[in-house]
Amino acid sequence: VTLRALALALLLLSPLQAGAARRFALVVGNDRGGEGTRPLRYAEDDARRMFDILVRLGGVLPEDAQLLLGKDAPALWKAVDRLEQRGREAQSQHEPAVLFVYFSGHAKDGALRMNDSQAPLADLRQRLVQSQIEVRVAVIDACRSGVLVRTKGAHLAPAFEVDDAQKQGAHGLVVLTSSAGDEDSQESDALQGSIFTHHLASGLLGSADRSGDGRVTLSEAYAYAYARTVAGTANTASGVQHPTYDYELRGNGDLVITDVAARTEGLMVPGAAPDGTYWIVDDQGAIAAELEKRGGVDRRIALAPGAYVVTRRLSDHLRLGQLHVRSGALSVLDEPTLKDAAFADDPVKGAVEDVRARLTTRPVLGVGLGYSSFVVQPQAGMFASAPLLQLRLDLDHAMSDHFGLGFALWFGGSQSALAIGQGTLPFSYGQFGATADVLYDVWPRDDWRPVVGGRMAWMLMTRTFQDPSLPKQIYSTFAPGALLGLRRELWDHLIVSADLVGHYGVYTLSTTSRSLVNVELDLRLAWGF
Amino acid sequence: MQTGRRMRRQALLLLALATSGCGGNYSNDDVEFLVALPTKDALTVRVPAQSQALGTDASFHKLTVETAESVNAGLAQMLNLVDLIKALPPTQRLPDARLWGPWPDDQSPGFEVEFVLTRETDHFKYAFQERRKGVGDFVPLIEGTYFTDTAHTGHGTLDVHFKAANTLKGVTDLGTANLLEGEVVYVNDVNPRSVKTQLSSLDGNGNPASIRYEYLEHPDHSGELLYEATADFANNGGAPEHLHVWAQWTASGAGRADARADKGAFDTAQFDRDDFTQCWDSTFGEVYFDSELQKSGVNVAPGIGCSTDGRTKCPVGDLSSCVLPGKTP
């Protein structure tokens, strides 16, 4: 199905207005994804936020909404069953029904991860496809959640176009996911939430109301979230994140998700206010909404009652002010009351141009055993193979999600012998070293993490002959090297690692230099802090 | 363009620096050369002895121990020089040679020394050489050879040219120790292991003098030391005396010495030599002693010695208590 065909199909459809049907919402958030995943920071906060928006603005009655935080997969299926049952009951009383399912958390290997349990995405999709509720909308904010729509044709594109000329009821399923099937979904400390949910929520509050009718439809929310998520992740270390959508709607229309105009309380940015992007920051320091103001149109943001800071960025300074949204009252932004401020005072500093990935620097301290062998050496038998003991400190994600640093010290030794004529000279061989590595974590969020890297090593080799009349030999060299590694997180902190390393050095004796190639295999147990 | 080339050069320089090694002091070849140099193990004379000599030790055993210590002390001076060389990486490496130096001779200002170690077809040879700084050829003061097929054993020679050293440095006042030549031959690749040393010199009267040591070490740790000297021991300006001692011992330390003093003061009308035999047990205490003044092999004065000191020249003990069969040196 092409985008154009989709647009044409949806052109005939009308929005299902909030309140026109009985709405049910299952909102799920889980910071923990069990083995092989690292706890998220904001998944449950995202869920709370979406739950609040759906209940406050989305026409979902509190008794028809269920918020699951930190629960296992069985609780998800039980809640789906319950809301399905309630939806069918509503439909039996001739009330059209809409079911929203929102999930924020880990997804991996085709399943939502909920603590140590899993909910296969295929099963979820099957449940939604087979649901008898007329309209089902699933929003999945999780890594590689695009898998959910992959088999049905994921669309990495701006939103479908809709028109509200038709008043037919909708039937079918819409699935929105935060990222494509091969992408990570990112959280942002600056936004205090996942990037996709932040923009989706901001859009649902009114930022996405492109038509200016005070209602935010599914297509508007998606278009807004798509554009902002792609833009906001374009420069992140984890790479750009493309939300996807899939639909199976028959005779359907676009869906009004939130009715901003229905709420009297909130913020209005009048058409006379200067164009530009306004950030509204709540009293917790989180960005409650972003508003792109264009073209002299009044824009409303359905903010919950509370104190906020409004900021608008200019090229060389900020405009900054405070406002208070009172219950049942619409606050109107009076832009001239904003004060000039320096960028240093920006409460949303970092949220715009530097959306950080969810991975922060993680020290990993490990001890390991290795085996070193010189495959190319100046003279046969000069440097012996030897087992090594290694102490290593990794700073995973020190430079970005993918790039980290590693430092290691090692020592080891063996007994060997130098052939002289028909005899041998036994010697004790010693090897010491120190390295600094720059490592690229190929899949920094996965259980199995391949790592490649470059290193600079300082190597010291010694030979102490059994014959005390022969002098001790000491040789040291700086040797650049390359590393291929694999990391596997066994539990939350315990990591097992294997590295294969090659070093190249030069053996210089008087004026003669010869190549020195060393290969090392290391196995480590490490503790990640 | 120039900037690009400069940056590439800088990058190459950095890479070269990054990969440059340091402390590369010995190659396998170096070690093979060093193995050719004599070691303490190869040159040491080992005579069983108590950690502290007791007054009751048999006199010839004491003399043998002191002689061995004297030989070892002399050889140690040369070994110290060798150790000094071994501790330093070669100054120059050639395919079949290593060269250390030249360096200024701290003991002799204005002179410089070098050490050359050369690999020949079937052996190594080396020389410690000296010359006036920058003047003429180097003069070998110590020369050696070493033949080996294995890393541990071989045989070699070591010649010390005392006369050449004195000549080079213009030393004329040599006092009473006017050494001319020293020669060491050592074998540790066949049994018995041996160290043979000979020194020739002039005594205080300008007469030729020599001293010879022959040490044999058997696989069962028994051994022999023969030492022989010709010099004016009587210091009477006459013909030099000749002393010859052959000491043998078992692994337990018990042994015997057969000695002869002749010539010089020992060559008289009544006798022409004095023969001694002494045996000692594993505690080094004397178990047999006999001394005979002889003329042409006949004991001409039995008992004469007994009257001189009452003991040392009188037969003591039973010859059968000697653990080694009597041998004629």
From chain B, the residues in CB contact with A512 under 8 A are: 93
Q: Which helix (H) or strand (E) holds A78?
A: helix A73-92
* Interchain contact, A516 vs B32, CB within 8 Å: no
* Interchain contact, B22 vs A505, CB within 8 Å: no
The per-residue pLDDT for range A484-497, each reduced to its tens digit, is 999 988 876 889 99
| A507, B53 Cβ separation under 8 angstroms | no
Interface of B with A (CB under 8 A): 15, 17-29, 31-32, 34-35, 37, 39-41, 83, 86-87, 90, 92-93, 148-153
Q: Which of B25, B30, B32, B35 to mutate to test the interface with A (most CBs of A within 10 A)?
A: B35
Establish if A515 touches chain B: CB-CB under 8 angstroms: no
Q: Please tell me whether residue A426 adopts helix, strand or coil conformation.
A: strand
The per-residue pLDDT for range B244-297, each reduced to its tens digit, is 999 999 988 899 999 999 998 888 888 888 888 889 988 888 888 888 877 877
Establish if A479 touches chain B: CB-CB under 8 angstroms: yes
Average pLDDT, chain A: 81
Q: Which of A473, A478, A506 sits opposite B26 (nearest CB)?
A: A473
Question: How far is it, in rounded angstroms, from Cα A44 to Cα A68?
Answer: 9
The per-residue pLDDT for range B136-189, each reduced to its tens digit, is 999 999 999 999 877 678 899 999 998 898 889 887 765 545 788 999 999 988
pLDDT of residue B305: 47
From chain B, the residues in CB contact with A467 under 8 A are: 35, 39, 152
* Interchain contact, A471 vs B20, CB within 8 Å: no
* Interchain contact, B40 vs A469, CB within 8 Å: yes
DSSP assignment of A140-160 equals: EESTTTTHHHHTT--B-SSPP
| A427, A465 Cβ separation under 8 angstroms | yes
Interface of A with B in 420-439 (CB under 8 A): 420-425
The per-residue pLDDT for range A237-266, each reduced to its tens digit, is 667 778 887 776 665 556 788 888 777 788
pLDDT of residue B139: 95
Phi, psi values for residue B5, rounded to 5°: -65, -40
| A499, A521 Cβ separation under 8 angstroms | yes
Q: Please tell me whether residue B237 adopts helix, strand or coil conformation.
A: coil
From chain A, the residues in CB contact with B152 under 8 A are: 423, 425, 467
Calculate how close chain A gets to B329, using CA atoms only, in Å.
Answer: 35
* Interchain contact, A423 vs B25, CB within 8 Å: no
Q: Which helix (H) or strand (E) holds B191?
A: none
* Closest chain A residue by Cα to residue B153: A423
Which carries the bigger pLDDT value, residue B144 or residue A153? B144
| B78, B142 Cβ separation under 8 angstroms | yes
β A135-141/A97-104 pair status: parallel
* Closest chain B residue by Cα to residue A504: B19
The closest of B142, B150, B125 to B79, measured between CA atoms, is B142
Q: Which of B23, B86, B150 sits opposite A423 (nearest CB)?
A: B150
Question: How far is it, in rounded angstroms, from Cα A468 to Cα A465?
Answer: 7
The per-residue pLDDT for range A3-39, each reduced to its tens digit, is 444 433 333 333 444 446 889 999 999 988 888 777 8
Calculate how close chain A gets to B248, using CA atoms only, in Å.
Answer: 29
Buried b (16+ CB within 10 A) or exposed e, A85-108: ebbeebbeeeebbbbbbbbbbbbb
Q: Which of A469, A470, A509 sits opposite B27 (nearest CB)?
A: A509
Q: Which of B25, B31, B149 sits opposite A418 (nearest CB)?
A: B31
The per-residue pLDDT for range B188-225, each reduced to its tens digit, is 888 899 999 998 988 777 778 889 999 999 998 899 99
Q: Which helix (H) or strand (E) holds A318?
A: strand A318-325
Assembly ipTM:
0.72
* Interchain contact, A477 vs B87, CB within 8 Å: no
Over pLDDT 90: what percentage of chain A?
27
Q: Please tell me whether residue B20 adopts helix, strand or coil conformation.
A: coil
How many inter-chain contacts (A to B, CB under 8 Å) are there? 100
pLDDT of residue B4: 54
Establish if A466 touches chain B: CB-CB under 8 angstroms: no
Calculate how close chain B gets to A106, using CA atoms only, in Å.
Answer: 44
From chain A, the residues in CB contact with B34 under 8 A are: 470-471
* Interchain contact, B27 vs A469, CB within 8 Å: no
The per-residue pLDDT for range A333-351, each reduced to its tens digit, is 888 888 887 776 666 654 4
For range A454-474, the mean pLDDT: 88
Establish if A130 touches chain B: CB-CB under 8 angstroms: no
Helices (H), A203-313: 218-233
